[in-house]
Amino acid sequence: MPAMPNPVPGYALGIDFGTSHTVAVGRWPDGRARPLLVDGSPLLPSAVYAEPSGQLVVGRDAVHSARRDPARFEPNPKRRVDDGTVLLGERELPVGDLITAVLARVGEEWRRAAGPVDTAVTLTCPATWGATRRTLLADAAAKAGFAGARLVAEPVAAATYFAQVLGRDVPIGSVVVVHDFGAGTFDASVVARTSSGFEVLAVDGRDDVGGLDVDAAIIDHLRLAYASRDPAAWERLDAPATVEDRRAHRQLWDDARVAKERLSRAQSADVMVPLLDLEVHLTRDELEGLARPVLAQTVQVTGAVMKAVDIAPGRLAGLFLVGGGSRIPLVATLLHRTLGEAPVVIEQPELVVAEGSLLAEAALLTTEPAAPGVTGQMRTIAPRPQAAPAAPAPTRVEPRLDTPARGNAPVSPAGTAAVRPAPAAPGTSAGTPNGTPAGAPSSGPPAPLPPTQPYPQTPAPPAPQYAPGAAAVRPRPVPPPAPAHQPPQTRMMPRHTGAAPVSPAARPQARARPHVPQPQPQPQPAPRRRRGGFGRFVRNLFITLLLIALPVLAAVFAYGIGNGEPPLRDAQLLLKEILRMLGLAS
């Protein structure tokens, strides 16, 4: 926002720029948060109307002005984000200007409600948006007065609301599934709880599926039932050519949307059909029959995302419904029947993302890649695998549960770990993470590693199976085993040499050396006199140490009685220390 005199710290504003409506939630320094009311409602229509004078009208004023000239009206600027420009009337306007007009209207109401205060602004966007769309949104916010606004992924904001506002138990390592069914788009996301907040593991959705498609299903139902009464009138409604026809077309769609919203609360509603002077009675059963094909697509996408991430049993913290379209009761019913998980439904799902963005710790930069989809790179949250303890392997298996960075090597479809190439031996070329030898020129982005199953519990692992089209990982060659007829090496260790014992880390290296046949000398038994002398030495040394330790033991024993500790515990500790000094215990 522009520079304000006497800035007051502690103010924050979360904005959810939606397809059909834009919602903003403000937070005051005392911690209270409430939705920002625009024209008396928390839902600001994202619609824009271009006046002949060049002024852009936003919100309900734009919806009202559209009845005069619908050609100057754009109801869903978010759906036009990739179009570059939009023709409104006789002018062609950049999409960024439409978004700027909507966000500027929010800033105007915020200054009216909070005054001239310094505000920390967060702006939400879909997790699937790439850098180009995010940059467009950030630039539009800067032009509207929200320079430096944080961009937060919508599923991250929703999961934060789920955990912090609703108080749901979401432990670290668990996941939340966000079912975001809005007016123009649908997104299903799997969000994992980490030590620093939430992170999107996978997201999938449909840009052409939303509440508007349910409205279209209602219009199609009316067309099939009543178009035969006056085909010419329906032709005017379907393809309006005059201002009057466009006004009737807009009225029909508005009445269909209002009927859909009413049938989410009541059992029946009426729809007025202009130009035919009809009043059609609809029931909830009819609405569910019309909306079921659209809603079934969203349920299928949500199930596919959950299956692709391979959520381990007990790791799902909840299925969360977001977006105004989730008010339709059939949405929760289908999800529960299909996925076996009862979704969490709240009273105002439109406000979830805006308020959750105020509490989200993770911000998305405009240069960061989009969240992974079901066919992209994903990290699993399955339990840590148990590998074979003694089998030598050419590759190294590392679990991906706690990896903080996004966009690492993909996991196997069935399993739980990503395979990385083992370091190459001296004098050989080491493989890069995408399977390209070091120093080789790269012709494109790194290819994902092939999925590999965990090691089987057998002495020798089978050859890895590579996915079609994936880059092969060049494993380190394993030395061939010794011939079966060769007897095992026997390590002859003297009883006491005065040198440091062989460390456990060095012993596997000694065993891994290739065997060179050498004549084996016959072991000579040690003289009995020398063995007896060593035994007497050890006995005398033990007696001497015991005589020295007895007074110490008595003092410790007395001290143990005095401080209330069990005497046996003090004696055990002292005996263990003596054995450690003698090298008889570790």
DSSP string, 217-251: HHHHHHHHHHGGG-HHHHHHHHS--SHHHHHHHHH
Instruction: Please name which of 422, 418, 382 lies closest in space to residue 398, comparing C-alpha atoms.
Output: 418
Give CA separation, 30 vs 26, 109, 446, 508, in Å: 12, 20, 49, 63
Give the count of beta carbons closer than 10 Å to the beta carbon of residue 313.
7
Cα–Cα separations (whole angstroms), residue 97 to 191, 313, 488, 506: 32, 47, 80, 69
Residue 399: its H or E element:
strand 395-399
Residue by residue, pLDDT tens for the chain (586 residues) are 333 333 335 899 999 999 889 999 999 988 888 999 998 899 999 999 999 988 999 999 999 888 888 889 999 899 899 999 999 988 999 999 999 999 999 999 999 998 888 899 999 998 888 889 999 999 999 999 998 899 999 999 999 998 888 888 888 889 999 999 988 888 999 999 988 788 888 888 887 888 889 999 999 999 999 999 999 999 999 988 888 888 899 899 989 999 999 998 899 999 999 999 899 999 999 999 999 999 999 999 999 999 988 888 888 999 999 988 888 999 999 999 999 889 988 878 888 999 999 988 655 555 556 666 553 444 434 343 444 444 444 444 343 333 333 333 333 333 333 333 333 333 333 333 333 333 333 344 444 434 434 434 444 444 444 343 333 334 444 444 444 444 444 344 434 434 444 444 444 443 444 454 555 555 555 544 445 567 788 888 888 888 887 777 676 666 666 656 666 776 677 677 777 777 776 6
**C-alpha angle with apex 348: 347 to 353, nearest 5 degrees?**
135
How far, in Å, CA of 13 to CA of 354, rounded?
8
For residue 402, what pLDDT is reported?
37
What is the C-alpha separation between 192 and 34, in angstroms, rounded?
27
d(CA 448, CA 413): 13
Adjacent-strand bridge partners of 448: none
538 to 431, 541, 543: CA distances (angstroms): 55, 5, 9
State residue 184's pLDDT score. 80
User: Which residues 6+ apart lie within 8 Å of 246 measured at CB?
Assistant: 69, 70, 71, 240
Q: Which residues make beta-bridge pairs with 88?
A: 91
Do 352 and 322 form a contact (C-beta atoms < 8 A)? Answer: yes
The secondary structure of residue 127, as a DSSP letter, is T
Contacts of 212 (CB under 8 A, 6+ apart): 19, 20, 76, 183, 184
The structure tokens listed for 562 are 């005095």
* Nearest to 327, CA basis, from 350, 304, 308, 293: 350
On whether the CB atoms of residues 354 and 24 are closer than 8 A, the answer is: yes
Q: What is the per-residue pLDDT for 409?
A: 36
Q: Which pLDDT value is given to residue 522?
A: 57
Which residue, 452, 469, 448, 459, is CA-closest to 395? Answer: 452
- Domain-by-domain residue ranges, the chain? 11-210+291-359, 538-581
CA 237 to chain centre: 44
In degrees, rounded to 5, the angle at the alpha carbon of residue 496 between the alpha carbons of residues 494 and 502 is 75
CB 486 within 8 A of CB 473: no
CA separation (Å) from 168 to 175, 304, 319, 360, 427? 12, 24, 11, 15, 55
Let me know: does 19 contact 6? Beta carbons within 8 Å: no
Please tell me the predicted confidence (pLDDT) of residue 263. Answer: 93
| Residue 536, token pair as written in the block | 């007497």
Residue 110 has what pLDDT? 94
DSSP state at residue 19 = S
Q: Are 137 and 153 in contact (CB under 8 A)?
A: no
Place of tokens 């003090």: 570
pLDDT digits (tens, 9 = 90+) for 270-303: 999 999 989 999 999 999 999 999 999 999 999 9
Contact 68, 243 (CB under 8 A): yes
CA 188 – CA 206 distance, rounded (Å)? 9
User: What is the number of residues in the chain?
Assistant: 586
Is 546 in contact with 581 (CB distance < 8 Å)?
no
CATH topology (fold) of 11-210+291-359 = Nucleotidyltransferase; domain 5 (3.30.420)
Q: What is the pLDDT of residue 397?
A: 38
Q: Where are the beta strands (DSSP E) in 126-171?
A: 150-153
Can you spell out the DSSP letters for 423-454?
PPPTTSPPBPTTSPBTTPPP-SSPPPPPP-PP
Cα distances (angstroms) measured from residue 104 to each of 2, 113, 180? 12, 14, 25
Q: Assign 301 to helix, strand or coil.
A: helix
How many whole angstroms separate alpha carbon 447 and alpha carbon 424? 20
Contact (Cβ atoms closer than 8 angstroms) between residue 435 and residue 423 = no
pLDDT per residue as tens digits for the range 332-358: 999 999 998 899 888 788 889 999 999
Instruction: Report the largest interatomic distance among the alpha carbons of the chain, rounded to a whole angstrom.
Output: 123
pTM: 0.59
Rounded Cα distance between 431 and 421, Å, is 7
